[in-house]
Every structure is written in C-alpha cells, then in structure tokens.
Amino acid sequence: MQENWVKIGVNTVSQGTIINVISIRSSIRSSIPGPLAAVMSWILLSAFIAGLISGCGQGDGESVTELPLDVQESSPQRGPVPVASLLQKIKQRGKLVVLTTNYPTTYYYDRDNQPAGPEYDMTQSFARSLQLDVEYKVYDSTSEVIQALRRNEGDIAASGLTVNDRRMIEFDYGPSYQETQEYLVCHRNRKPIMSKSDLKGVELVVAADSNYIESLSEYPELTWVADTHVNTAALLKEVSLKKVECTISDSTLYDIERRYFIEIQNKYTLARKSELAWMLNKNSDQLKQAINDWFDSYEKEGDLAQVMDKYYGYVEIFDYVDTHKFLARVKTRLPEYKDFFIDAATKNDIDPSLLAAQSYQESHWNRKAKSPTGVRGIMMLTQPVAKSLGVTNRLHARQNIYAGAKFHAKMKKMVEHVDEPDRSWLALAAYNVGRGHFRDAQALAKKLDKDPDRWSEMKLVLPLLSDKKYYKDLRYGYARGGEPVIYVSRIRSYDELLHKHFGEKLGEIAKNDVR
C-alpha cells in the first residue's frame, strides 16, 4: 500500500498569497507501482494548489494544511484546516489591542485619573460585546498610529481618524460614528477670510500625515508646512500665543480647545463634512463584520448619542465675552468662597468644582444677586427652599452655599439609581426647573419612548414642557423647559474650565479637609 501526504504552508500578506510547499512525505507499499503512485500524487497536488490559489486573500497569518493522497477508496478523506482569521486570533488571546492618541477627542485620563474619551468608551463597549479585555497603545500623533497599524502592532486604530480615499487604498474602515468639519483657525485679531482669494499669503502649519493635508490639495492658494513634532491641539495653543499664524483643526477639537485658548477663532471652513471611523488592516473581514454588528446595536440603543453628549454636549454654547469674564472672576471672586464650596460639596458628595460652577451660573459668584422672580443669594435660593433648609439670611454666602449643596444633593437622590455623569446632569436640571416639572418631563419621556435616565434623551424632552401639545396633559403644566438644557450645558462648560485651570488646587484642599 502507498500512502502519500502533502503538507502545504500558506503565508498571506497584503500584496497577495505566497504558497510554499514545505514537504512531501511518501511511504510506498508494494501493492502500487512507484511510478504510478508518483504521477497520481503530482496530479492531485497540482489540483489542490490551483484551488488554493483561487481562494487566496481570505484570511491573515500562516496556516498549514495536510492533504492525504491515498488511492484506496476506503481511506478517510480529510479537508483543509481553516486559516485562523484576525478575529479568531484576538479571541484566542482574549485581548483587543487598540492604537490611539492622547487627545480630549480620543483617549485621556480624567480628573479621577481614570481612562476616558470617546474612543475609550466605544472600544470598551465593543470589547465587552466579545467578552474581551483591551490593551491601549498610545502614540503622540496620527502619523505614528497609522505607522503602528501598518506594522501590525495593534488590531484597530481608534484615534478620530478621517475616512478618505488615500487611506482606503491601504486600509479598511468600520462604520462612521461622527461627522466633523475642517476649520482654518487663526488668532481672533487676524482679519476675516471671506473667500478663497483671501487665503493667499496665510502662513499655515499643520500636523504631518493628518487628513487636513488631503483637503489642502483643493486650495492651491494656500502654502503650508507640515510639522512632524506637534499635534493639532499643540498647534492651536501656538496660534493663541501668536507663535503660529494659522492651523487646521476639526470642529470637535476646536470647540473643546477654544474654551481654554479663547483667542483662537475659526476664520474659514475648508471641508464641510468629514466622517470619522475606526481603521483596520485589509483582509480582516470577520473583525470588520463584528464591528459593524456591534455598532448597529450601539447606535440603535442610544449608546452612541450618550457618548457624544458626554464629551461634546457642553461645547455647543460658547460666548467669548462670558468666558473671558469667567476666567477673570476665577481670580477675583472665587477665592473668597472657594473653601465654602469645597467643604459644602464634600459633605454632600458633590464635586467641588461642579458646585462652584453651578453657583457661577446662578449668580456669577455674587452673594447679593437677586432675580425678578425673588430667588436670592450666591446659589439663588427661593424663600421656601431656603426656609426648609434652615437659612436665616439668603444673602449670607456661607448659609446660602451650604443650603444650595444640600438641595443639590436632594435632587441627586431623586435619580440615585442613575450612573454618573447622567445623574449629575439630571439633578442639575431638576434644581433649575423644579422637581414637579422634572417629574413631568420624566413621565413624558417614557410616553415618547425615550429613556428618562439618560441626559442625552432628556435634554430633547425638557423643551417640550413649553409646547402646549404636551404640557396640557402634564400634572404641573407649562414650564420653560429649554432653560434647564442651557443651564446644564453652561455649568458643564464652567466645570471643565475650573478643572482645567484650578482642578489640582481644589482637589488638594478637598483631600486635606477629608483628612
């Protein structure tokens, strides 16, 4: 009996498939002549190789397939061993490797030294859907992330990457999760740019290997320099300091950074619609399908909207004059009340900067503030609320702050089953609009098939309290429902500014008080 085995190694690379015949092992039995056995072996081998070549490019990595060449019909027939896909390899190792950058729009550590960012939240959700852990490899620039993906240092690149034709030649993308615009950003004192002809003579510096370079090809009027050592966030700071005349930024990063570098200004929109998506190497079809399946559910269940609101919901409102005044008052007014905010917040399980931000929204840190409706003091308390909390003088800053913190804590208790940060945003809305109207809004949200425990959905429902179509059927009737939405957005903005500029000082005092 003759038993022939052909072992074939397949190594797949991005340019094609290389097939290496590793070895042919033969043992000849006397029942079949040697020449005949050899001829049959090579015929079957040739057919196998032809079929294998036609199926190249379906997986990645290296595989070994063994083919029995036994002429006896009674011999068992064994099919080819499947090539392990990238997704299978990820599952085998139990870990998804994500390539990203340290940006406020991608991945960073928050005020509690915990990982955060839109890309972090989304990749964590995707990994959970596959029961995987995540390892993050953080690079200094988009260019480095793309190079790392080329070198197969990670499974996906999640770094606010723009979808463009140039990159699609080499890589695949997951579904688009966000749309942005591309702005020409200069110092606010620079003269306006009204048309393409005004672009001539602009001194422009952009981050190397960014998508912006492709957009610039449509503007021959511009001359520019690509800097390989800095990212866009750093360039925005340089513009604010007049060290660089202009740069290019996507609208999301610009909206965040202009709160800290208030002298920057969008002078011209270069691209009105750019899509962001995760990037992965070609021939990773199963991984790409898994991402698409996860995203369909993630978007339909409102998780994507929640992430977008979490990181960008407060940037919608920006007032240069107001922000300038706020930053000035942080130095002139806040020091007098800072210790009160820290102590009152700590005793009521509130972030000190959030309480201070709320107070600024209420009164601009003016202890004698008074509204036409009769609310008074630095936390703008109504007479009934102040009396119920033991306040004898609403103009007394310490009494007012401690009472405001207690009332804030009561609002949080209304939604104690909700996770942060939604719990804080909902509590602030209730503080502003009143418990009765807030309960009406929650009931209306359920009626409209919205989630009353998600701020991203409640901020769409609250304005309906001023629409007769809806408020006529509510227990407490009409309310200015749009006001709490603006109220929460402004507080979130002030809170971020306080943390950015003074968070360490506030946090250190809070720790000392707890001790």
pLDDT for residue 210:
75
Say yes or no to pLDDT of 353 above 80: yes
Higher-confidence residue of 174 and 34: namely 174
Extents of the domains making up the chain:
3-81, 89-177+279-312, 178-276, 320-514
Q: Token pair of 425, please? A: 């945003």
Helix (H, G, I), strand (E, B) or coil at 231: coil
Q: Which amino acid is at 111?
A: R
pLDDT for residue 508:
54
Percentage of the chain lying above the pLDDT 70 cut:
80
Provide mean pLDDT across the span 87-113.
90
CA distance 482 to 459: 8
Cis amide prior to 421 (ω within 30 degrees): yes
pLDDT for residue 233:
86
pLDDT for residue 419:
94
Say yes or no to pLDDT of 74 above 60: no
Q: Is 372 exposed, middle or buried (CB count within 10 Å of its CB: 0-12, 13-18, 19+)? A: exposed
Question: Is 275 tagged catalytic?
Answer: no
The CATH architecture to which 320-514 belongs is: Orthogonal Bundle (1.10)
- CATH class, 178-276 region: alpha beta
pLDDT in tens, 458-498: 999 999 998 889 988 999 988 889 999 989 999 998 998 88
* Identical fold between 89-177+279-312 and 178-276: yes
Choice among 119, 182, 257, 362 that is catalytic: 362
Say yes or no to pLDDT of 24 above 60: no
Query: Which conformational region is residue 200 in: left (phi greater than 0), alpha (psi within -120 to 50 degrees), or beta?
Result: beta
pLDDT for residue 338:
92
* CATH topology classification for 89-177+279-312: D-Maltodextrin-Binding Protein; domain 2 (3.40.190)
